[in-house]
Amino acid sequence: MMSFLFGRKKSANSAKERLQLVLIHDRTDLTPAELEALKDDLIATISRHIDIDPMAVRINMAQEGREQRLVADIPLKSATRKRTR
């Protein structure tokens, strides 16, 4: 709707964006669903040792050249509590 009103997005841009996502999964052999499962496992494991907020955990695939990297950002609960006090 919006794109209809404000001019079509260039098709080359959609091609590039779509390819960026497709290539990440092709290269790692990891589907979005498997990435979610990995995330759940990771949260469960870490929670056994330290208090975290599952909703705040960010796990993403990043790339540098042809290298793929799994980047996890896991804020600790006790740390945030102290800071807000």
Partner 1 sequence: MTAKVITVASGKGGVGKTTTVANIAVALAARGQKVTCIDGDIGLRNLDVVLGLENRIVYDLVDVIEGRCRLRQAMIRDKRLSELYLIPAAQTRDKTAVSPSDMVRLCDELRTEVDWIIIDSPAGIERGFKNAVAAADRVLVMTNPEVSAVRDADRVIGLLEADGKGPASLIINRLNPTMVKRGDMLSVEDVLDLLAIDLIGIVPEDENVIVASNKGQPLALDDKSKAGQAFQHIARRLLGEKVPFQDFNTPNVFQRLLGRK
Q: Which stretch binds partner 1 (CB under 8 A): 20-28, 35-43, 53-61, 75-83?
A: 20-28
Q: Where are the beta strands (DSSP E) in 1-85?
A: 58-64, 67-73
31 binds partner 1 (CB under 8 A): no
Total residues at interface with partner 1 (CB under 8 A): 16
Is 8 or 83 the residue whose CB approaches partner 1 more closely? 8
21 binds partner 1 (CB under 8 A): no
Q: Please list the residues that pair with 25 across neighbouring strands.
A: none
4 binds partner 1 (CB under 8 A): no
Binders in 37-76 for partner 1, by CB under 8 A: 63, 65-66
20 binds partner 1 (CB under 8 A): yes
